[in-house]
Amino acid sequence: MRSEIKKQTFEPEIEFNHVILPHGTGGAVIAIESSSNLDLKKPPAIHRHYRSPAYYAPMDRGRVIGHGLGDKCAMLVEAVPYSIVSVSELLNHGRGVRWRFFQIGSDLEVTLIESRRKLGYDEIRKLLWDLPEHQAASLVLSDNDLTEVFRGPQPDWFRRIAKAQLEHWRTQKPVSYARIAPNCPEGEDFSRCIEAEPFIMLARWRHLMGPDQIRRCAELSPSGAVRFAVDHIPPERREEYLRNHSKSALVHSLPKLSGPDLVICAGDSPQLAFDKREKLTPELRAYVLATVYQFLWPAPIRQPSAQERNEILQSVRDHPEVWLTLHDWSLVRVVKELRRQASIQDGWGDLTHLNDHADPAVRHAFLNYFATQI
């Protein structure tokens, strides 16, 4: 026969362990110690209720650490003035669900307002609208916030719970340990974390890695390699990585991209590459321009502005070797394709200076083009 959870009314609680802990993003967290003798299968839950402009009372779910690792655990949620925090705990031996409700004051002072029963939605909403007017929005407690909480000063009761949770993650859940542990993993833990979370390990601890460790992360995490270790991408997979993560490469690794790299990224994300061109040297910018014109100004639907047109033409004059490399070393093809695909019909001016170019291949391409103009 299925057991039923008993509905109980608890005696009001006078004292409770809690602490306000700042974190690195300028906010703060309220951590509340749980009751003892909780059900081991279902962890407690903590929520922050706040006002919305439409007279709703939405809520953010917090996080629980230490459940099942000791007599008590800790429940954490963002602490914001004039919000309501609710805690629900399933007690063991069928003793029912215990509810506690707290009010966060203007200076983040915490007041227990109900611990005998569960408050209904309408009751919570009324409590919120009886508080002074304030700005409120959803605030989710992130892994980075939790890391800062673990790194900062803590009261003894919270430190015991946090220590037990970190040890559990270290031995049983390397993904969580890699993401949240405030200190760099050591020894075998470091290797286990690389295998479990290569992207996060690159993001957090690349500066402490050796070349072999960086290469291993790059093999396991293409997105991490493009963002944090573009110079360690396996050569045989470089085009694949950059094509699949072109936006990340252009945003996070632009100074380390070569001309051929930029061609790959510009072919997949032409507008972003074009927008980033001002941060490149004129030569590297030529790789971008010689690629994106095929996508950004499809004739006759759209045409480049006069400024963009002049920029393209000047790039051809100043860096013909780049344009020729991407057009089968044919100046005839460069001119033809710019006319066909970007509606650049004239304005080429004098290209005779190419006949004096240091590269004989450029001179040859010019002579072939000049022959078509006679």
Spatial CA neighbour of 83 closest among 110, 126, 49: 49
pLDDT at 348: 64
Separation of alpha carbons 366 and 352, rounded Å: 8
Q: Average pLDDT by consecutive 10-residue portion of the chain (374 residues)?
A: 41 72 82 92 94 87 96 94 94 89 93 93 93 81 93 95 98 97 96 98 97 97 98 96 98 98 98 98 98 90 90 94 96 92 76 88 90 80
CATH topology of domain 18-136: Immunoglobulin-like (2.60.40)
Beta bridge partners of 86: 47, 101
Separation of alpha carbons 143 and 178, rounded Å: 10
pLDDT at 312: 94
SS (H, E, C) the chain: CCCCCCCCCCCCCCCCCEEEEECCCCCEEEEEECCCCECCCCCCEEEEECCCCCCCCCEEECEEECCCCCCCCEEEEECCCCEEEEEEEEECCCCCEEEEEEEECCCCCEEEEECCCCCCHHHHHHHHHHCCCCCCCCCCCCHHHHHHHHHCCCCHHHHHHHHHHHHHHHHHCHHHHHHHCCCCCCCHHHHHHHHHCHHHHHHHHHHHCCHHHHHHHHHHCHHHHHHHCHHHCCHHHHHHHHHHCHHHHHHHCHHHCCHHHHHHHHHHCHHHHHHHHHHCCHHHHHHHHHHHHHHHCCCCCCCCCHHHHHHHHHHHHHCHHHHHHCCCCCHHHHHHHHHHHHCCCCCCCCCHHHHHCCCHHHHHHHHHHHHHHC
pTM: 0.84
pLDDT at 16: 79
Amino acid at 50: Y
Neighbours of 23 (CB within 10 A): 22
Sketch the domain layout of the chain as residue ranges. 18-136, 251-374
pLDDT at 24: 67
Amino acid at 319: H
In sequence order, what are the residues at sequence separation of 6 or more whose Cβ sits closer than 8 angstroms to the Cβ of residue 48? 59, 60, 62, 77, 78, 80, 83, 84, 85, 139
> Encoding tokens for residue 366?
């010019």
